[in-house]
Amino acid sequence: MRLRKGPPDFLIILSTSLLLAIGIVMVFSSSAYSAMISYGDQFYFLKRQGIWTILGAMGLFSAMQLDYFLVRRYAKIFLIGAILLLLLVLVIGLESHGSRRSLGMGFLTFQPSEVIKLAMAIYLARSLSEAGDRLKDFRRGLLPRLIILGAVCGLILAQPDLGTTIAVAGTAYILLAAAGARVSHLIGLAIIGLVGVFVAIFTADYRMQRLLSFLNPYADPTDSGFQIIQSLLALGSGGLFGMGLGQGRQKLLYIPERHTDFIFAIIGEELGFIGASLVICLFLILLWRGLRVAVTAPDTYGSLLAVGLTCMIVFQAIINIGVVTGSMPITGITLPLISYGGSSLLFTLISIGLLLNISRYAGQR
């Protein structure tokens, strides 16, 4: 079966480019002051983000060019490789803030959890497309896939990295829903998932702290509630038009993780409601076009892969913005395409490359 390649989805390219552009500008704006203090170079983070963006663009074009059926063939190997990396990071990972998440050294570090996100999306898309109606059968369809998902989540949680666990589990759940799992199973899974989250929260003090500080950040404004309060103060200072690019004040070391997890707060402060809404809109466009790619994909595998890749990105954006706006407890997820972060950016762009790849076969059978 030979399919003709059409043009890639223009709106996905446009919104991705805009988000990348906003990201580079805001990484610089939010990090310049602290980079000057810590490294004596206000361009420290900008330079690195620039290099990773170039690498990411190359990744995007490669992923867009190759035959995505080839990707399906190697899905299992890809997943096994990613799981091995997850095991490796537990042993020789670089320790930071009490957790081991990265491999490598110096500038060349990457997080295996970024690999597993992509590997899981690909694997589940293939596995679920092959399962077909068997998925409705709990023991033969759903359970084996849940076991693999559970094992992967367990490994990520062992780092520990609750944010990525939630991203992977959430994406998998959406994929199960898209692939046609029974509604009763989905509801049951949702309940189990929520219980799991609560167990995770009640078994780790810092997660409990995060939950409590989310419910009432002012109970401990200088410690556990500090991040969320500072984030709200930044957003609130922005108003409609913002304080102007570069004019934000909360980045003066008031907001922690200002160029990573909380970059959306700086966007809200400097670019106002208009700038922040633009970012949300671009993710909305990405969601719409990505799922449109899914609907128009030539086969179920392509369709589910498009759902997985799209929802992976948008789901993270939702959680990140939810945290920054104080709508949910802090989980430690970056804003895709915008936050500073090398391997995250690279794999997100590869994901979008794959999505664009699928979009080129839209409407064909």
Residue type for position 13 = I
User: What is the helix, strand, coil percentage profile of the chain, to 5?
Assistant: 70, 5, 25
Question: Shortest approach of another protein to residue 287 CB, angstroms?
Answer: 6
* Whole-angstrom distance, CA of residue 233 vs CA of residue 264: 12
> Whole-number minimum distance, CB 255 to another protein, in Å?
9
- Give 80 or 274: the residue with its C-beta nearer to another protein: 274
Report in angstroms how near the CB of residue 105 gets to another protein at its nearest: 26
Would you tell me which residues interact with another protein (CB under 8 A)?
33, 174, 177-180, 232-240, 249-250, 252-254, 268, 272-273, 276-277, 280, 283-284, 287-288, 291, 294-300, 303-304, 307, 311, 314-315, 317-318, 321-322, 325-327, 365
For residues 222 and 229, the answer to whether their CB atoms sit within 8 Å is no
What are φ and ψ of residue 109, in 5° steps?
A: -115, 150
Cβ 158 to another protein shortest distance, Å: 29
Residue placing its CB nearer to another protein in the complex, 89 or 355? 355
Taking residue 129's Cβ as centre, other Cβ atoms within 10 Å add up to 18
Q: Kindly report whether the peptide bond that precedes residue 160 is cis, defined as omega within 30 degrees of 0.
A: yes
DSSP state of 249: S
Which one, 52 or 283, has the nearer CB to another protein? 283
The smaller minimum CB distance to another protein, of residues 89 and 175, is found at: 175
Burial 234-255 (b: 16+ CB within 10 A, else e): bbebbeeebbeeeebebbeebb
Closer residue to another protein (CB): 75 or 235: 235
Inter-residue contact 306 to 291 (CB < 8 Å):
yes
Nearest distance, CB of residue 253 and another protein, angstroms: 4
CB nearer another protein, residue 85 or residue 235: 235
Residue 327 Cβ vs another protein, minimum distance, rounded to whole Å: 5
> How many CB atoms within 10 Å of residue 2?
3
Residues 6 or more apart in contact with residue 178 via CB below 8 angstroms: 294, 303, 304, 307
Residue 100 or 185 with smaller CB distance to another protein: 185
φ and ψ of 137, to 5 deg: -90, 120
Beta bridge partners of 109: 104
